[in-house]
């Protein structure tokens, strides 16, 4: 169904963010001409071969409801001796929370080149950012930092600082949960952290309204390490669930209760997406698409096609839940009845429109000779059954269980039961949508692709080999990025060898670490790809060190697919 773009963007208050200078003199009386500051840094994103999105937020000092005029300067050197592009008369609009995005839209930059940029408003100059355009033609290699899951209150953003200090990074991929919606009460998520008192969320309540979401984005972007990572390289982003609400799907979310003064889901989603488009360096929705249809592609020379997916808001069927969807008959779980629901082909994660887009993009990439087809994807794709911790820990199991909060204890006991049944431990991941996963694998195989799947959401590092349902073909490999700060099961169960247990339980899992915090550094070359899982030593102290926790290499298989993962 075609969507009237003007009506859709008007509903969210989007559009008109990129081009900016027309009609300035006619509206000049509505300008804020007093003091301003750049309190949230600068950012670039969605690069192509000749342009990028440039972002900042101009904060008026004192009470103001007026726009601020700004100028963008893009230079070939960090000293700005050679300015190659200038955008004048750009408006940081009050109606967009004084955020400003400018899209060069194919104008004037060279492929595969570093540029530096800054904004000037009312005599004040912003911090300097660095961006890089995408390469064209024969390309030796591409270096990507892959991040996910940054809970502000739970720890210092040391991993973002480590990304900012990388000697080389061509782009940063953020796979979602850039912000979290929870409040700052003592029992709220992450508020038991030893540094929570120094990193309180704003606002202190769970965010629901447009003003709430804007304030939460502002709090996150006040962090100097996050600002530094944005300034280091262009970002390519996609939301997961917490940018709206936990375990969101097409028609709602686990953490949205209309009867609890949280209102209509569509209104909350619209507010969340409006704030996201205002505060993130992402291109505005394209013609004919709703704002939640954020899938898009990026071509890195002849080395890689990067396809960013959307698995939350456009087509996802509501998640199944073992408590309600796994019936018990005569005291025994009816796995057959559950499987009939679970494997229903009508259950979708990406949907028909995005599936057709992916098929076309993957096929075109292979035909064009790209070495790799990389999927920027929110949730873990591998088949993962939970380990049986009771068997793993033996006599230590009951004492461990007794120390845990009731809700964690319940999850672990459920995991023990599910492990025995061979059922997946996370129905919010691709494991909850096996038919759609197989459709994706079929399009990979049909195109003869060499896919690498990148995943976030799980707060764990993963190195997985992905096989089709028959188990006959290794279709792809998957590298999962752990959280920047968000707590994983390794934090809840310190000392328990969970990663080893996951690998021992699941043939597709070659490595997992649900305790480490950090990011994945992916280097793509012709003939091989190298994934380095980089961990920070702490998120509870400002001083930290980094180390490469694991390094894996994968090579393509002739005719499509990939070889087995090799630890390097």
Per domain, the residue ranges of the chain are 31-133
The torsion angles phi and psi of 314, rounded to 5 degrees, stand at -90, -35
How far apart CA 101 and CA 172 sit, in angstroms, is 18
Q: How far is CA 137 from CA 204, 298, 354, in A?
A: 50, 14, 27
How far apart CA 516 and CA 461 sit, in angstroms, is 7
pTM for the complete prediction? 0.94
Closest of 295, 535, 321 to residue 428, by C-alpha: 321
The pLDDT value given to residue 29: 63
| Signed CA dihedral, 150, 156, 157, 162: sign only | negative
For the chain, state the CA radius of gyration: 23
Residues listed for the chain:
568
DSSP 67: B
Q: Which residues contact 340 (CB under 8 A, 6 or more apart)?
A: none
98 upstream amide cis, omega within 30 of 0: no
118 upstream amide cis, omega within 30 of 0: no
Give the containing element (helix H, strand E) for 408.
Answer: helix 406-421
Q: How far is CA 226 from CA 152, 177, 447, 535, in A?
A: 10, 14, 38, 17
Q: How many Cα atoms sit within 13 Å of 292 on the Cβ side?
A: 23
How far apart CA 169 and CA 250 sit, in angstroms, is 34
**Residue keyed to tokens 């399009």:** 443
User: Would residue 100 be called left, alpha or beta, if left means φ above 0 and alpha means ψ between -120 and 50 degrees?
Assistant: beta
Q: Are 172 and 236 in contact (CB under 8 A)?
A: yes
- Bridge partner list, 36: 60
Around Cβ 44, how many Cβ atoms within 10 Å?
27
How far apart CA 284 and CA 109 sit, in angstroms, is 20
What is the b/e burial string over 425-463, where b = at least 16 CB atoms within 10 angstroms of the residue's CB? bbbbbbbbbbebbebbbebbbebbbbbbbbbbbbbbbbb
Give the 3-state secondary structure of residue 367. Answer: helix
pLDDT tens digit sequence for 133-181: 999 999 999 999 999 999 999 999 999 999 999 999 999 999 999 999 9
DSSP 31: B
The pLDDT value given to residue 330: 92
DSSP 556: B
Q: Are 203 and 215 in contact (CB under 8 A)?
A: yes
How far apart CA 531 and CA 453 sit, in angstroms, is 12
Q: Are 157 and 485 in contact (CB under 8 A)?
A: yes
DSSP 309: -
Q: Are 543 and 528 in contact (CB under 8 A)?
A: no
How far apart CA 432 and CA 180 sit, in angstroms, is 23
Q: Are 294 and 308 in contact (CB under 8 A)?
A: yes
pLDDT tens digit sequence for 528-537: 999 999 999 9
**Residue keyed to tokens 């025994």:** 332
Give the 3-state secondary structure of residue 152. Answer: helix
Q: Are 354 and 315 in contact (CB under 8 A)?
A: yes
Q: How far is CA 30 from the centre of its chain?
A: 37
How far apart CA 401 and CA 545 sit, in angstroms, is 32
Give the containing element (helix H, strand E) for 11.
Answer: helix 5-12
How far apart CA 470 and CA 335 sit, in angstroms, is 20
How far apart CA 192 and CA 204 sit, in angstroms, is 15
- Beta strands 509-513 and 517-525 are unpaired
DSSP 187: T
Helices (H) and strands (E) in the chain, counts: 14, 28
The torsion angles phi and psi of 351, rounded to 5 degrees, stand at 85, 170
How far apart CA 427 and CA 429 sit, in angstroms, is 5
Positions in the chain whose pLDDT score sits under 70: 1-29, 106-107
How far apart CA 304 and CA 137 sit, in angstroms, is 11
Domain 31-133 CATH class label: mainly beta
- Bridge partner list, 510: none
């Amino acid at each position: 169904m075609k969507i009237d773009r003007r009506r859709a963007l008007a509903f969210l208050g989007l559009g008109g963010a990129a081009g900016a200078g027309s009609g300035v003199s006619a509206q000049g009386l509505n300008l804020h001409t007093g003091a301003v500051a750049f309190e949230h840094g600068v950012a670039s994103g969605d690069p192509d071969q000749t342009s990028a999105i440039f972002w900042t937020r101009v904060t008026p000092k004192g009470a103001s409801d007026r726009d601020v005029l700004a100028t963008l300067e893009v230079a070939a050197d960090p000293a700005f001796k050679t300015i190659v592009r200038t955008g004048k008369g750009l408006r940081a609009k009050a109606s967009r929370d004084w955020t400003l995005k400018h899209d060069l839209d194919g104008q004037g930059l060279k492929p595969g080149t570093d540029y530096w940029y800054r904004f000037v408003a009312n005599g004040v100059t912003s911090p300097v950012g660095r961006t890089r355009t995408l390469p064209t033609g024969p390309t030796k290699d591409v270096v990507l930092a892959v991040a996910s899951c940054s809970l502000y209150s739970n720890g210092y953003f040391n991993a973002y600082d480590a990304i900012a200090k990388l000697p080389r990074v061509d782009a940063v991929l953020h796979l979602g949960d850039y912000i979290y919606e929870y409040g700052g009460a003592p029992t709220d998520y992450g508020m038991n952290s030893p540094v929570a008192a120094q990193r309180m969320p704003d606002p202190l309540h769970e965010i629901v309204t447009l003003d709430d979401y804007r304030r939460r984005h502002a709090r996150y972007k006040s962090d100097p390490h996050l600002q530094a990572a944005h300034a280091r390289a262009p970002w390519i982003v996609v939301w997961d669930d917490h940018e709206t609400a936990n375990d969101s799907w097409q028609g709602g979310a686990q953490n949205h209760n209309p009867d609890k003064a949280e209102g209509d889901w569509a209104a909350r989603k619209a507010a969340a997406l409006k704030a996201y488009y205002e505060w993130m360096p992402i291109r505005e929705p394209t013609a004919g698409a709703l704002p939640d249809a954020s899938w898009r592609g990026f071509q890195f020379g002849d080395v890689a096609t990067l396809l960013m997916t959307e698995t939350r808001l456009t087509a996802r069927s509501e998640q199944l839940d073992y408590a309600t969807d796994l019936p018990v008959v005569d005291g025994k779980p009816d796995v057959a009845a559950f499987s009939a629901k679970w494997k229903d082909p009508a259950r979708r994660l990406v949907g028909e429109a995005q599936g057709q887009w992916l098929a076309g993009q993957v096929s075109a990439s292979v035909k064009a000779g790209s070495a790799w087809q990389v999927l920027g994807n929110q949730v873990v794709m591998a088949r993962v059954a939970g380990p049986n911790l009771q068997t793993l820990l033996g006599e230590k199991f009951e004492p461990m269980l007794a120390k845990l909060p009731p809700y964690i204890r319940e999850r672990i006991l459920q995991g023990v039961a599910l492990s025995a049944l061979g059922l997946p431990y996370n129905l919010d991941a691709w494991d909850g949508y096996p038919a759609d996963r197989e459709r994706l694998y079929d399009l990979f195989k049909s195109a003869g692709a060499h896919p690498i799947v990148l995943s976030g959401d799980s707060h764990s590092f993963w190195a997985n080999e992905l096989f089709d349902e028959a188990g006959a073909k290794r279709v792809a490999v998957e590298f999962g990025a752990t959280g920047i700060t968000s707590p994983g099961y390794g934090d809840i169960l310190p000392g328990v060898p969970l990663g080893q247990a996951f690998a021992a339980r699941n043939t597709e899992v070659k490595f997992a670490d649900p305790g480490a915090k950090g990011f994945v550094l992916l280097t793509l070359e012709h003939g091989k790809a190298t994934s380095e899982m980089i961990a920070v030593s702490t998120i509870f102290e400002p001083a930290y060190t980094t180390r490469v926790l694991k390094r894996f290499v994968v090579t393509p298989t002739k005719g499509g697919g990939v070889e087995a993962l090799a630890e390097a």
